[in-house]
């Protein structure tokens, strides 16, 4: 459920930066790629978090390889557990398949991105997922940051 209105920048963090939390079950593929794109494309203007309701032991190697192909190194990332505190500290919460396991707080902007799960897939299958995520992240940035003249 997308909210087209911009998020007030200081709602959750008390800073002038909006904050985004990406959530998927394992925090090993989709949410990590989205966080990496937002960190890179947001150029430090957005606070970025990612987490999973049932984090995997490691990042999906095909996701790491696919991101490396576009110049983003995710090899040092590790899956993190979803906490209520991370949701509370974020202005925007984007889920990618964790369903009812994501806590809900009034006043947050929630979006659910329907994305194919890259788990168990090779890099050839992960590339289209990566490219879909990049486009969604670019649209997210445009919705969060005012246009510069």
The answer as to whether 8 is a domain residue is no
Q: Tokens 């390889």 sit at which residue?
A: 65
Question: Does residue 5 belong to any structural domain of this protein?
Answer: no
Rounded to whole angstroms, how far apart are CA atoms 112 and 98?
9
State the residue range of the domain holding 77: 19-141
- Asked, for residue 80, whether it belongs to a domain, the answer is yes
Report the distance separating Cα 119 and Cα 64, nearest Å.
Answer: 12
Whole-number Å distance between alpha carbons of 27 and 56 = 7
38 belongs to a structural domain: yes
| pLDDT one-digit tens code per residue, 113-149 | 999 999 999 999 999 999 999 999 999 999 999 775 4
Number of domains in the chain: 1
Which residues are catalytic, by number? 24, 98, 102
Interatomic CA distance for residues 128 and 148, integer angstroms: 30
pLDDT in tens, 40-91: 999 999 999 999 989 999 999 999 999 999 999 999 999 999 999 999 999 9
Has residue 116 been placed in a domain?
A: yes
E-strand ranges in the chain read: 19-24, 47-52, 92-95, 109-112
């Amino acid at each position: 459920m997308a909210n087209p209105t911009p998020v007030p920048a200081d709602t959750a963090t008390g800073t002038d930066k909006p904050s985004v939390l990406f959530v998927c079950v394992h925090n090993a593929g989709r949410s990590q790629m989205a966080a990496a794109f937002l960190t890179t494309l947001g150029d430090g203007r957005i606070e970025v978090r990612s987490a999973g309701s049932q984090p995997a032991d490691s990042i999906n190697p095909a996701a790491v390889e696919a991101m490396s192909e576009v110049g983003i190194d995710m090899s040092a990332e590790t899956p993190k557990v979803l906490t209520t505190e991370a949701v509370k500290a974020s202005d925007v919460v984007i889920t990618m398949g964790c369903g009812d396991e994501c806590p809900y707080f009034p006043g947050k902007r929630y979006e659910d991105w329907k994305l194919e799960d890259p788990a168990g897939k090779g890099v050839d299958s992960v590339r289209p997922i990566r490219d879909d995520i990049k486009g969604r992240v670019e649209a997210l940035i445009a919705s969060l940051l005012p246009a510069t003249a």
